[in-house]
Amino acid sequence: KKNAPIVISTWDFGVAANLAAWEVLKNGGRALDAVEQGVMVPEADLKNQTVGKGGFPDRDGYVTLDACIMDEFGNCGSVAAVENITHVISVARQVMEKTPHVMLVGVGARQFALENGFKEENLLTPESEKAWKEWLKEGEYKPIINIENQRFSPNKLPGNQYNHDTIGMLALDANGNLSGACTTSGMAFKMRGRVGDSPIIGAGLYVDNEIGGATATGVGEEVIRTVGSFLVVELMRQGYSPEDACKEAVERIIKKKPEKAKEIQVGFLALNKNGEYGSYALQQGFSYAVCNQEKQDTLIKGKSIY
C-alpha cells in the first residue's frame, strides 16, 4: 500500500490527535488502536470544550458524551449520553469487544464503564460552567449548534464563522485495514437527553474495509436525517472520489432543507481504501488534519458550498 499508513481527522485539534494515532501506525500497529489512541487526546484536553472532559454541558448543566468506533471487520461499538467518564471512545470499544451489543446509553453505559475499570470524574470545568452560566442569562433555547459554539469555542479558526468540534478520525494501517472513531460532547447547551449523529453508526461514522470510511461533524440532526457517513461510503463504492462523495452528501442536506442549510454547518471527511482522502462542508471554516509518512502535521482547509 503506497499511501498507507495514513490517519486523518476533523478540525485543527486533529493535528495533535493524529500524532498520537501515528505512534501506533508508524510501528505497523492496527488502525483500530490508532484511532482510539488518537481521539483520546482531545477527550482528555481540558481546553477543548467540545470533546470529552471539559466539554460544554447540556442546558441543565450536565456534561454528556457520545462516541462510537468501528473496525475493519465491520464490528462497531457506541455509547451515548454518558456522564462522568472521560474516555468514552474506550467505553465504546469495550461495548464492541465485550458485549453482544452495539450501543449502550446513559446510566447503563456508565455502569458498564465502571464495571470495566473506568473511573468516575467530574467533567465540568470552571471554564465550561462559566460559559454555560453566561448562556443561561440569555435564557433563550436555540438548538442551533453554530450560534453557541461560535461564541464560546476557544478553537475558533481565523475567519471561521461556524465552529463545530466533534473529532472524527479515520485511519488506514500498514496492513491496508481501515478503522474509525468519533467522539464529542455534542451540541453545546443541548436539551437534556439530546443525542446527535456522532455515536450513531452510519451517521457520524461509517467504515467498510472494502471501500473506505467517513465521518461527520456539525449539526447532527441533519447528518442523522441523511445517514451521512454511510452515504459517503456508498458513494465511494459507486466510484466517487472521497471529496466528490462528501460533496454529494452535503448537497443532499441542502436538497432536503435548502433554507436551513444556509444557516448551519455540516462537514464530512472521507478516506478510501487506497489512502486517498477528501472533505466537503456546507460553510467555510471546516479544517482537517492529515498525517502520513511524508508529513505528520498537515492541516487542510476544507472546501465548502457557501
Sites of contact with ligand SD4 (CB under 6 A): 50, 145, 149, 164-166, 184, 186-187, 196-198, 217-220
CA angle 5, 6, 9 (to 5 degrees): 155
User: Are 217 and 272 spatial neighbours (Cβ–Cβ below 8 Å)?
Assistant: no
CB of 220 to ligand SD4, least distance (A): 2
User: Are 10 and 172 spatial neighbours (Cβ–Cβ below 8 Å)?
Assistant: no
Nearer residue to ligand SD4 within complex by CB, 39 or 187: 187
CB of 294 to ligand SD4, least distance (A): 29
Nearer residue to ligand SD4 within complex by CB, 168 or 212: 168
Pick the closest to residue 168 from 50, 28, 275 (CA basis): 50
Nearer residue to ligand SD4 within complex by CB, 40 or 223: 223
CB of 218 to ligand SD4, least distance (A): 5
Pick the closest to residue 260 from 291, 293, 283 (CA basis): 283
Active site residue 166: yes
As beta bridge partners, residue 30 has none
CB of 93 to ligand SD4, least distance (A): 19
Nearer residue to ligand SD4 within complex by CB, 29 or 267: 267
Q: Are strands 178-184 and 287-292 parallel, antiparallel or unpaired?
A: unpaired
Asked, as a colleague might, if the bond just before 5 is cis with ω within 30 of 0, I would say yes
Nearer residue to ligand SD4 within complex by CB, 202 or 218: 218
Nearest-angstrom CA–CA distance, 52 and 286: 20
Give the contacts of 135 (CB within 8 A, at least 6 positions apart). Answer: 59, 148, 152, 188, 189
CB of 30 to ligand SD4, least distance (A): 26
Distances (CA, A) of 153 to 28, 146, 163, 164: 36, 10, 7, 9
CB of 50 to ligand SD4, least distance (A): 5
As beta bridge partners, residue 268 has 216, 280
Nearer residue to ligand SD4 within complex by CB, 50 or 272: 50
CB of 268 to ligand SD4, least distance (A): 11
Distances (CA, A) of 39 to 1, 184, 191, 251: 24, 10, 25, 28
Nearer residue to ligand SD4 within complex by CB, 71 or 197: 197
Q: Which of 166, 183, 184, 215 is catalytic?
A: 166
b/e for 153-192, b at 16 or more Cβ within 10 A?
bebbbeebebbbbbbbbbbbbbebbbbbbbbbbbbbbbee
Catalytic residue ranges: 166
